[in-house]
Structure 1
Amino acid sequence: MNCLGPTLLLSATLLLGTGTAQAALPVEATMFKNPQCGCCDEYARQLEDRGVTVKIVDNIEVGKIKQSIGLPYDLGSCHTLQMGDYAIEGHVPF
């Protein structure tokens, strides 16, 4: 009996399943940003279009937020987003 057939079927099934698995977005997020940054506002709107309620905080020193999450100074971006258990730096693709 040839066992290659069931192995290929199992491999194909596993590969198809990996392309469709996605984690659900949290329902809330907090964005820490510079008040003059318009691209951050657009990123927040895109999150809201996906069902995430975004609280924007633009009256705080963003560098302190980045420092508190342990982000190295030279890796900072225009905003830091806290979603669930994650801190996301910059415009990460959805």
Structure 2
Amino acid sequence: MECVQKLASQKAVVIFSKSTCCMCHAIKRLFYEQGVSPMIYELDEQKNGGEMERALIRLGCKPSVPAVFVGGKFVGSAKDLLTQHLDGSLNKMLKDAGALWL
């Protein structure tokens, strides 16, 4: 669990993903289209990806991916992020974390 928390705090936006997950792709695209360059960890391509996935589940990530951290804090999975994007709270979080300047 320490590994996930350490990785999640290394950049303003961190996404734990799987390369074959369509919702992960949609969330990554959401950030890219806003001009945000997140750090992405593809769990299915990581040596310790299974261990990281179990740690994400223990942190409350259900489903385990996509798991998005902004400013080192878990902000949610796909459903949560889309809701926050639509209500405008995602932009504020991104600005506060220094990931978005506009």
Coarse TM-score class (shorter-chain normalised): 0.5 to 0.7
More helix by share: 2
The Cα of 1:90 is off from its aligned counterpart by 1.4
The two structures have a TM-score, normalised by structure 1, of 0.54
Instruction: Indicate the structure with greater strand content.
Output: 1
Counterpart CA distance in 1 for 2:12 and 2:32 is 9
Q: Between Structure 1 and Structure 2, how many residues are aligned?
A: 63
| Equivalent position of 2:40 in the other structure | 56
How many angstroms apart in 1 are the aligned matches of 2:28 and 2:12? 11
Aligned to 1:88: 75
User: In the alignment, is the contact (CA less than 8 A) between 2:27 and 2:66 conserved in 1?
Assistant: no
Contact 1:29 1:84 in 2 (8 A): yes
Q: What is the TM-score with the length of structure 2 in the denominator?
A: 0.50
Q: Which runs of 5+ in 1 are unaligned?
A: 1-26
The percentage of counterpart residues that share the same residue type is 13
Measure, in 1, the Cα distance between the counterparts of 2:17 and 2:40: 7
Post-superposition offset of 1:81: 0.9
Residue matched to 1:47: 31
* Structure 2, unaligned runs of 5 or more: 1-10, 86-102
**Offset at residue 30 of structure 1 (A):** 1.0
What residue identity is the alignment partner of 1:53? S
Counterpart residue number, 1:37: 21
Larger Rg: 1
Alpha-carbon RMSD across the aligned residues, in angstroms, is: 2.1
Query: 2:66 maps to which residue?
Result: 79
Runs of 4+ in 1 over 4 A off after TM superposition: none
